[in-house]
Amino acid sequence: MNFHIITIFPEALESYFDSSILKRAQKNKFIKIKFYNPRDYAKDKHKVMDDKPFGGGPGMVFKAEPMIKVIVSAISNSKFLISKQIPKSKFQKIKVIFLTPSGKQFNQRMARNFAKKYDNLVLVSGHYEGIDARVEKVIKNLKFKIENLSVGPYVLTGGELPAGIVVDAVSRHIPGVLGKKESLEEKRGVGIPTYTRPEVFEYGGKKYRAPKILLSGHHKKIEEWRKKHAK
Ligand code: ADE
């Protein structure tokens, strides 16, 4: 899977992607993450890519032209960023996602479907008051699949964290990304309480015991216990 992230603040996500499972997934070429800065597509020498909203009001709006140019550039790049999963000859399945608090709420089922159906996700992070509404129309007219997604019922200061959340949640469903030690929650359920040594943990004069069953070595009973406690 290739992730193309359009943002004026790539540094907000770089260190996250350069850690742990996503770092390993990139190294092993199961996923590729590329950043595009709309500022690089601004026409004037000052790289201005936002302006005041028509009709007045606070904040600034991302101008249509640099945004369209940067999205089109990411889409064209889809053919060249080849990860292990995607043979050069294969038609590139691309989806353009606008991150916005007014979008459809992203969930686990979508993450799984994106991983299955697409091999390129273009994630557009908005900022300030938003993006000129004509950007979406132009990209739709170019016949690309578009979706407006929210990562939750709250408003953040920008779309960078939401883009990172989509990359993370989708990547986990790409075969090879999770190692043996990590597993997809579908197999076991989520929210199962876990424990490690010591068996009896003391704090503030009180003793906290790990459930005996987990130390019994009785695999069938342990699985039953875990099933019972999965959410
Ligand atoms: N931008 C600001 N808040 C957001 C949210 N909740 N989801 C997606 N993009 C956003």
Is residue 140 very low, low, confident or very high in pLDDT (cuts 50, 70, 90)?
very high
The atom of ligand 1 lying closest to the CA of 155 is 3
Query: What does the pLDDT read at residue 91?
Result: 52
Query: Does residue 88 carry a pLDDT above 60?
Result: no
164 lines ligand 1 (CB under 6 A): no
Using pLDDT thresholds of 50, 70 and 90, give the confidence band for residue 124.
Answer: very high
Residue whose Cα lies nearest atom 2 of ligand 1: it is 156
For the stretch 102-121, pLDDT in tens is 999 999 999 999 999 999 99
Locate the domains of the chain by residue range: 2-181, 188-229
Q: Of how many residues is the chain composed? A: 231
CA neighbor of 33 nearest in space, from 67, 72, 62, 7: 7
Q: Is the CB of 154 under 6 A from ligand 1?
A: yes
Separation of 151 CA from ligand 1 center, angstroms? 6
* Residue range 182-225, pLDDT digits in tens: 777 766 788 999 999 999 999 999 999 999 999 999 999 999 99
- Cα of 100 vs centre of ligand 1, distance in Å, is 4
Residue 126 sits at φ, ψ, to 5 deg, of: -85, 165
Quote the pLDDT of residue 118. 93
For the segment 142-191, what is each residue's pLDDT rounded down to a tens digit? 888 899 999 999 999 999 999 999 999 999 999 999 987 777 776 678 89
Distance in Å, CA 57 to ligand 1 centroid:
20
Give the residue whose CA is nearest to atom 4 of ligand 1: 101
- The alpha carbon of 18 and the centre of ligand 1 are apart by a number of angstroms equal to 23
Ligand 1 center from residue 13 Cα (angstroms): 15
CA 97–ligand 1 middle distance (angstroms): 12
Find out whether the beta carbon of 54 lies less than 6 Å from any atom of ligand 1: no
Dihedral sign computed on CA atoms, order 96, 160, 83, 40: positive
Nearest-atom index, ligand 1, CA of 154: 6
Average pLDDT over residues 136-143: 92
Q: pLDDT tens digits for 25-78?
A: 999 999 999 999 999 999 888 999 999 999 999 899 999 999 999 999 999 888
Helix (H, G, I), strand (E, B), or coil: what is residue 55?
coil
CB 125 less than 6 A from any atom of ligand 1: no
**pLDDT, position 76:** 87
Given this model, what pLDDT does residue 180 score? 76
pLDDT value for 126 = 87
Where does the pLDDT of residue 127 fall: very low under 50, low under 70, confident under 90, or very high at 90 and above?
confident
pLDDT of residue 81: 55
| Architecture of the structural domain at 2-181 | 3-Layer(aba) Sandwich (3.40)
Query: Within a 10 A sphere around the Cβ of 50, how many other Cβ atoms?
Result: 21
